[in-house]
Amino acid sequence: MALPHRLSFLKRASLTRHLMAQKLFKIMEDKKTNLSLALDVTSQNQLLEMADELGSELCVLKTHVDILRDFTSDFGSKLRKIADKHRFLIFEDRKFADIGQTVSLQYKEGIYRIADWADIINAHVIPGPGIIEGLKGSNLLLLAEMSSSGTLAKGAYTKKAVAMGEAHADTVMGFISLQRLSELPGMIHFTPGVKLKSGKDPLGQRYRTVDEILTKNQSDIIIVGRDITHAKHPKTQAALYREKAWSAYVQTIA
């Protein structure tokens, strides 16, 4: 079945009350980028350097703070400065997955104090809606699908994830998914597992192309990791992805 016509990011900004979704739509339109970078490096200094080098190409920088070997408590404020300079949002890909009470502590407390610096976080729906209650007030993406092969997040599970997100549209601003799943204009779809050529890695990651994800599947934002960070010239590669992703978006709303 053909999906209904797509609205522009700017139009969608006017159709949602979620402040962070509005902010992200506006950043994408102003910077003309729907590229998110998965900056999976283990050195904080390298992360900060690359964030500064590549920040102009991105709408969202995705982190895994728990892989940093040399994390210090000023990480968040240093990254925030770079994010403000280049106008991108910070998405900590923590994938919370516990009862509401516990995820609330994991989000705000501990060493990382994610709540102090992350603009966006994400969560599994396996515990049920209590996890969203526990993360109320955050800007949350729900994992409706995953990029990895053999994932159990499909079919009825995916449908329930979308329904759960739509029922909590004050906190939930979108989904991690392989395709457009929600017709609520404020819901933003982020898709990881992206390469210029489709394929896989040795540990179950599955890669799809920009056209498959954005044109055929009508997702909104591509999340690219190693195909940029491990490229010979990460900046040039990021610029290439940004152009490809933006022109795919422009074509689908034309």
Q: Is 38 in the site for ligand 5BU (CB under 6 A)?
A: yes
Q: Kindly state the DSSP code that residue 194 receives in the 8-state scheme.
A: B
Q: Kindly state the DSSP code that residue 208 receives in the 8-state scheme.
A: B
Q: Which of 50, 123, 142, 143 binds ligand 5BU (CB under 6 A)?
A: 143
- Residues 83 and 88: their CA atoms lie apart, in Å, by 5
Minimum distance of ligand 5BU from residue 37's CB (angstroms): 9
Of residues 169 and 231, the one with the C-beta less far from ligand 5BU: 231
**Distance (Å) of CA 59 to CA 38, 109, 201, 246:** 12, 27, 26, 11
Stretch that binds ligand 5BU, among 47-55, 111-119, 144-152, 237-245 (CB under 6 A): 144-152
Q: Which of 60, 181, 213, 224 binds ligand 5BU (CB under 6 A)?
A: 224
Site for ligand 5BU in 184-213 (CB under 6 A): 192-193, 205
Stretch that binds ligand 5BU, among 21-29, 76-84, 155-163, 223-231 (CB under 6 A): 223-231
Q: Is 131 in the site for ligand 5BU (CB under 6 A)?
A: no
How many chain residues bind ligand 5BU (CB under 6 A)? 17
Q: Which two tokens stand for residue 46?
A: 């390298």
Amino acid identity at 179: Q
Of residues 13 and 124, the one with the C-beta less far from ligand 5BU: 124
Q: Report angle CA 95, 66, 117 to the nearest 5 degrees.
A: 75
- CB-based contact 144:153 (threshold 8 Å): yes
Stretch that binds ligand 5BU, among 8-16, 100-108, 157-165, 220-228 (CB under 6 A): 220-228
CA dihedral 183, 120, 240, 57 (to 10 degrees): 120
Minimum distance of ligand 5BU from residue 117's CB (angstroms): 18
Minimum distance of ligand 5BU from residue 95's CB (angstroms): 6
Q: Which of 165, 186, 225, 234 binds ligand 5BU (CB under 6 A)?
A: 225
Q: Catalytic amino acids?
A: 95
Of residues 241 and 246, the one with the C-beta less far from ligand 5BU: 241
* CA 109 to chain centroid: 22
* CA 236 to chain centroid: 21
191 - beta bridge partners? 222
Beta strand pairing call for 199-200 and 206-207:
antiparallel
**Distance (Å) of CA 57 to CA 28, 54, 190, 216, 222:** 10, 6, 16, 23, 12
Interaction pattern, residues 150-179, with ligand 5BU; x per rule: CB under 6 A: --------------------------x---
- Residues 216 and 43: their CA atoms lie apart, in Å, by 36
Looking up tokens 């079945």 gives 1
Site for ligand 5BU in 59-88 (CB under 6 A): 64
Q: Site residues (CB under 6 A) for ligand 5BU?
A: 38, 40, 64, 93, 143, 146-148, 176, 192-193, 205, 223-227
